[in-house]
Amino acid sequence: MHFKDLIYIIALHFSLSGSPWAQSLEQLNGDLKELTQKVRPAVVQILVTGYGPKLGILSSPGGLNARQHNTGSGVILDPNGYVITNAHVVEGAQRIRVMLSASQNTTRRSILNQMGRVVGAQLVRIDRETDLAVLKINAKDLPALPLADSDALQQGQLVFAFGSPLGLQNSVSMGVVSAVARQLEPESPMIYIQTDAPINPGNSGGPLIDAQGRVVGINTLIFSQSGGNEGIGFAAPSNIVRNVFNQIRDTGRVRRGDIGVSAQTITTTMAMALNLPQTWGVILSDVFPGRPAYNAGLKTGDIILSLDGKVMENGVQCLAFCDR
């Protein structure tokens, strides 16, 4: 049985039985509605126009292209018009527009969502390593969401995915944090938050939200055999998002530090082979002469257990902290 189906059955049982639990569930229901009302104004739909191979036409030396329209999601992180989204949503675009969330008119009784205002957007910068991009729209005093500390996330924590899956603006889904740090490839320079909150094409670039209405991640990709949601989604952690967003907004680029080392995650097999006292941490497989690490006295074979107060669990984590 699916988690949400179980919650529904429990809620129905307690509401019918008149149990005090019904009041708690009603309070939860109200809190979730309040959270949605708080977050929704800062979530936007990204409308992209570009050119690509014309479908259904055999390729020719001239490279026949056709105008294509794609959609994605984004979130306002700065009230002065700065929006974060995924790089793959806007890369290669000839024209980018942003559909803002419609203002909520309490006197309007239609159940249909109002269409928001569409404004032009300028691509400030793309960061391919993290698959993030920053857009700028000509508007001020916009609703913006704060970034949470993704290092404080815990497995099982409730999260909510906002965005426009399959072009359906202002959609929200609920799930939990399945894993707080997932590498999609061994020693990959990027880690992700894994969640079972339903994410589909079009959610890319939208925010993953905690129960306090803070952005804990930017929904980026899914693992799927069908092409749709199968409960395995990945979001770029907010601490990485913050670093990339602030640098692009303030300087127009992302600069990364390089102390001149190659770091490798210590595994159980490695620890046994090297007769190490612990099976965790990071070992420096190479230290490059003349670089900051070398000048600081680090040597090949040194084991890093912590950095700036953070316990080192893998080589990617070590390099990520060195980049800050």
Active site residues: 88, 131, 204
* Chain mean position to CA 168: 19
Please state, in angstroms and rounded to a whole number, the distance separating the CA atoms of residues 20 and 18: 7
Q: First CA to last CA across the chain, in angstroms?
A: 43
Please state, in angstroms and rounded to a whole number, the distance separating the CA atoms of residues 249 and 125: 9
The closest of 262, 206, 256 to 74, measured between CA atoms, is 206
Please state, in angstroms and rounded to a whole number, the distance separating the CA atoms of residues 152 and 278: 25
Please state, in angstroms and rounded to a whole number, the distance separating the CA atoms of residues 222 and 74: 17
Q: In what order do the strands lie in the sheet with 303-304?
A: 261-265, 282-287, 303-304
Taking a C-beta distance cutoff of 8 angstroms, is the pair 316, 189 a contact?
A: yes
* Residues sharing a CB contact under 8 Å with residue 323, sequence separation 6 or more, in sequence order: 243, 256, 257, 258
The closest of 84, 54, 120 to 244, measured between CA atoms, is 84
Angle (CA) 21 25 30, round 5°: 145
Identify the H or E element spanning 194. strand 192-195
The closest of 134, 148, 128, 34 to 80, measured between CA atoms, is 134
The structure tokens listed for 174 are 């609920």
285 phi/psi in degrees, rounded to 5: -80, -20
